[in-house]
């Protein structure tokens, strides 16, 4: 045990731990200064009923985006009003895409909009948007509807279903 605290060992630990702390400080300083992660875009985006296609009736939509940096996935579904409370991180999001330079692109099926599916295939959608000031502005292209649907939606933080831990 005594040999463990010999000068040689202590010098080794000082050098080893010192080098790692130095390396971490350099990496950390470099990262903080030069690396920019995309802004937080996760959340719920309620899309008002105005200008929505007939297949939705009078229903408004909600876009739930889950973000992993520049990789995003999302679910587009009718806004039942209680969505903001039940949105969960455990939900599987069928739309997937990227978020780079404030631009969001999402593509994939929209199984929650059965009325909007075309005769031969399941409903799918592609979404493009610009994110600024916690607002997403863009358009949704549903496979069964020829015209793109323009939208502007404000970001709402989903109430976490789970506790903090």
Is the four-CA dihedral 154, 155, 156, 161 of positive or negative sign? positive
Q: Does residue 69 belong to the site contacting another protein (CB under 8 A)?
A: yes
142 belongs to the binding site for another protein (CB under 8 A): no
Nearer to another protein, 31 or 81 (CB): 31
* Placement of tokens 């599916």 in the chain: 117
Q: Are 79 and 86 in contact (CB under 8 A)?
A: no
End-to-end CA distance of the chain: give it in Å, rounded. 40
Collapsed DSSP state (helix, strand, coil) of residue 32: helix
Query: Does the protein bind another protein through residue 157 (CB under 8 A)?
Result: no
Q: Is 23 in the site for another protein (CB under 8 A)?
A: yes
Is there binding between residue 57 and another protein (CB under 8 A)? no
Task: By CB under 8 A, tell whether 70 contacts another protein.
Answer: yes
Residue 45, φ and ψ in degrees, nearest 5:
-125, 95
Size of site (CB under 8 A) for another protein = 45
Of 35-43, 52-60, 125-133, 140-148, the window that binds another protein (rule: CB under 8 A) is 35-43
Q: Nearest distance from residue 89's CB to another protein, in Å?
A: 6
> Between residues 37 and 120, which has the closer beta carbon with respect to another protein?
37
Closest among 116, 131, 124, 126 to 148, alpha carbons compared: 126
Name which of 31 and 51 has its Cβ closer to another protein: 31
| Interaction between residue 7 and another protein (CB under 8 A) | no
Question: What is the secondary structure of 72-127 as a DSSP string?
Answer: EEEEEEE--S-HHHH--TTSPP-EEEEEETTEEEEEEE-TT-GGG--SSS--EEEE
Residue numbers of the site for another protein (CB under 8 A)?
A: 1, 3-4, 9, 12-13, 16-17, 20, 23-24, 27-28, 30-32, 35-42, 66-71, 73, 86-92, 96, 111, 161-165
């Amino acid at each position: 045990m005594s040999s463990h605290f010999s000068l040689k060992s202590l010098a080794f630990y000082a050098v080893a731990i010192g080098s790692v702390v130095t390396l971490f400080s350099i990496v950390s300083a470099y990262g903080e200064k030069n690396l920019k992660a995309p802004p937080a875009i996760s959340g719920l985006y309620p899309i008002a009923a105005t200008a929505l296609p007939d297949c939705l009736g009078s229903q408004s939509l909600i876009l739930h985006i889950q973000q992993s940096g520049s990789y995003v996935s999302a679910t587009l579904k009718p806004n039942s009003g209680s969505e903001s409370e039940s949105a969960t991180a455990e939900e599987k999001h069928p739309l997937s895409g990227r978020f780079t330079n404030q631009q969001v692109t999402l593509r994939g099926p929209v199984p929650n909009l059965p009325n909007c599916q075309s005769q031969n295939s399941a409903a799918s959608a592609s979404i493009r948007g610009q994110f600024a000031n916690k607002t997403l502005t863009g358009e949704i292209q549903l496979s069964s509807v020829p015209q793109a649907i323009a939208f502007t939606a404000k970001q709402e933080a989903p109430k976490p279903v789970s506790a903090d831990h």
